[in-house]
Amino acid sequence: SFDRSGDLLALVSDLELLALVGIVDPPRKEAKDAIALCKDAGIRVRMITGDHATTAAAIAGQLGIEGSALTGAEFAALRDDELHAQVGEIGVVARVAPEDKVRLVSILKEQGNIVAMTGDGVNDAPALTRADIGVAMGITGTEVTKDAAEMILTDDNFATIVTAVEGGRGLYDNLMKYIRVQMIMLAGFILTFVGAGIFTIADGTPLLPLQILWINFAVDVLLAVGLGFDAPTPGLMQRRPRSPDEPVIARALGVRLGVAGLLIAIGTLAVVAWGEDRYGLAVATTMGLTTMSLLHIVTALEWRDPVRSIFNRATIANGRFNLLMLVALALTFLVTTLPGLQRIFDTVDLDGHQWRACFVAVVGYLALAELAKLVLRRFDHEAG
């Protein structure tokens, strides 16, 4: 019979001991490392098992799973209000029935947690269905469990789940890099033309239509590819889990993106106005094209991380990203020097003074962006 109390001695009587065999099934080393990584990432790991409570508690200690160990009978005896109060201290539940698993998942979800549940047997299917993310074993898992799950581990290795979490965070982080940069670029374009119209700079047309297309398709596409396939940001797995209710662009971040776009517009218009007064409209629009392109490249570098300075080793650690940035720089230079491109995009050669004016705007933008990051880091450090 199934003894939920975990006390097996009561079942032993009138027996003669002939032999004692000890079998050890040690946990995988990568599982312990993965659980430690989960802890750093703000992910709480619990063990729910049909094994004896003593065995489960010993294995949990080896793996670094924190919390007390309960038997299924003790768990089932807790009222809902008691379980809500104590669930944070529970690390292991042993000798569980299927309904215990479902109840634990439900309690954790009621407290606002995003719950992932792993399992391989038919009795795990209800809990996998109830969880936000059901994870079935691909080798030992039953077909019922696989049908109930959102994810199937083809190698039955817990560490693979953590690898998937890291990959998911990397994808989301790269998507956010792209969104941030695109929002800044869009704001920069809009504000540049609004400002040119208000202040009558370059007859309200600081960039020609084909020049805008050149920036979008020759420069920005390379930047987008570089950001989309960028290396994971350092410390990605040390971040707290993101709340599903958190907006993609929070109000404070939106303000920063708008200010960054405004700085691009100011820098571009200042260069165009300076060039128009001294060299005429053709040179001014060429300088505007060059300045805008360079500012977009610097924006991609700066907004890969909204807080960390670009003056660190991580900035140059991704060879693919660096190559794409160099190609974008080369295209920015070639569009003003190759005769064929000059005819298509109405650009002219720029002399040293004109290039210097473009770089002054870019360096000014870079300095202000780094200053803003420095203030944010100081503020976060003091708040922490």
67: alpha, beta or left? (left if phi > 0; alpha if psi -120 to 50)? left
Measured at the alpha carbon of residue 250, what is the angle toward residues 244 and 256, in degrees to the nearest 5?
Answer: 150
Q: How confident is the model at residue 18 (pLDDT cuts 50, 70, 90)?
A: confident
Residue 375 has pLDDT above 80, yes or no: yes
> Residue 384 — very low, low, confident or very high, per pLDDT cuts 50/70/90?
low
Tell me the percentage of the chain whose pLDDT exceeds 70. Answer: 97
Closest CA to 295 of 315, 274, 270, 320: 270
Euclidean distance between CA atoms 92 and 82, whole angstroms: 16
Tens of pLDDT, residues 322-338: 999 999 999 999 999 99
Under 8 Å between Cβ of 183 and 257: yes
Burial class of residue 38 in the structure, from the number of CB atoms within 10 Å of its CB (0-12 exposed, 13-18 middle, 19+ buried): buried
How many Å apart are CA 347 and CA 336, to the nearest integer?
6
Share of the chain above pLDDT 90, in %: 79
User: 162-190, pLDDT tens digit by residue?
Assistant: 999 999 999 999 999 999 999 999 999 99
Q: Would you tell me how many other CB atoms lie within 10 Å of the CB of residue 58?
A: 14
- pLDDT over threshold 90, residue 232: no
pLDDT at 383: 59
How many Å is the Cα radius of gyration of the chain?
30
